[in-house]
Amino acid sequence: MRVTDLSIERNFLYNIFKVEKRLARLQDQASSGKAIIRPQDDPIGAGRSIYLRHDMAVSSQYQRNMDKAKNWMEQTESALSHLTNVIARARELALYGVTGTTPPDAKAAIAAEIRQLQAEAESIMNTTVDDRKLLTGTMPEWRVARDVMITTDDLGDWWGDMEATFVQLTEGLCPSDGSEPDEAAIQDALGRLDQWLDKILSARAENGARLRRLDILSEKAMNMDIEHQRLLSNVEEVDLVEVIVKLKSQEAAYQAALAAGARLIQPSLLDHLR
């Protein structure tokens, strides 16, 4: 069967275009370092890339939520620690004031300091963070994982009883009606202060457990982010050494195709007569 010059030219150009297309793709991959330049380069890989990037964005949002929750709970721990010191100081003063050997003027001085401790305790209970009450009121909630919501306890019911304990202790030490100090009232207030210390320490322990859980979730999220980065790299990025080797091979094939075409398509006598 006779093969015409036109057929030879068409086959030659078709093969050249195919080589040029492969060469252009390899050049794009070598210059960008990406295996997927356009979705049509690898539709399955492009879908996988979108899925992984979505998971990374969700994980990043969870991480930001965890940072906010940790900041809130660390502020809570700081406030409760300060409150512990206030109650412990009030208890120390109560132990000194409950003894019968303490003179009335010393008990009056103790009562004055306890009033200041009461004001400080109230200030702690009204601590605000980001224009929100830290220990009382509606507590914020944070989604820190797909099915995990975390929050803190509302301690709004504490202040009424705590204030009553301070008032009882102050009145026991230095009654407002000018009567003698009431050692029984002081002793009772001392017992209530011990209860408050236990209650605050219990709240701190629970808050600490939440912080520990956040640390575990944060570490898990960081490990998942590293794994997502690895998987995304496998999908999107190329092995530059392999790409360069293929690029050199395609360049050689391209030059060989051009040389072969030059030998196949020789000028004829008619070309010189035109």
Q: How confident is the model at residue 1 (pLDDT cuts 50, 70, 90)?
A: very low
Q: What rounded mean pLDDT belongs to the chain? A: 85
Higher pLDDT, 147 or 37: 147
3-state class of 128 per DSSP? strand
Same domain, 133 and 18: no
- For 50-106, the pLDDT digits (tens) are 889 999 999 999 999 999 999 999 999 999 999 999 999 999 999 998 887 888 889
Same domain, 196 and 78: yes
Provide the residue count of the chain.
274
- CATH number for 200: 1.20.1330.10
Report the half-sphere exposure of 93 (CA within 13 A, side-chain side). 25
56 in a domain, yes or no? no
154 in a domain, yes or no? yes
Same domain, 94 and 108: yes
Quote the radius of gyration of the chain (alpha carbons, Å): 39
Domain count, the chain: 2
260 in a domain, yes or no? yes
3-state class of 33 per DSSP? coil
Distance, in Å, from the CA atom of 169 to the CA atom of 121, rounded to the nearest integer, reads 14
Mean pLDDT of 122-148: 92
Same domain, 95 and 203: yes
Same domain, 15 and 144: no
Same domain, 86 and 137: yes
Strand partners, 141: 151
pLDDT of 163 strictly over 90: yes
pLDDT of 270 strictly over 60: no
39 in a domain, yes or no? no
For the chain, percent helix, then strand, then coil, each to nearest 5? 75, 5, 20
For residue 244, count CB atoms less than 10 angstroms from its CB and return exposed for 0-12, middle for 13-18, buried for 19 or more: middle
Pick left, alpha or beta for residue 130 (phi over 0 → left; psi -120 to 50 → alpha; otherwise beta).
left
Q: How confident is the model at residue 41 (pLDDT cuts 50, 70, 90)?
A: confident
What pTM does this model have? 0.76
41 in a domain, yes or no? no
Range of the domain at 66: 61-234
Same domain, 133 and 265: no
Same domain, 24 and 116: no
pLDDT above 90 coverage of the chain, percent? 53
Same domain, 227 and 261: no
Same domain, 15 and 70: no
Mean pLDDT of 232-250: 76
- The residues, any chain, with a CB within 8 Å of residue 141's CB and separated by 6 or more, are 149, 150, 151
Distance, in Å, from the CA atom of 72 to the CA atom of 179, rounded to the nearest integer, reads 46
Q: What is the pLDDT of residue 220?
A: 93
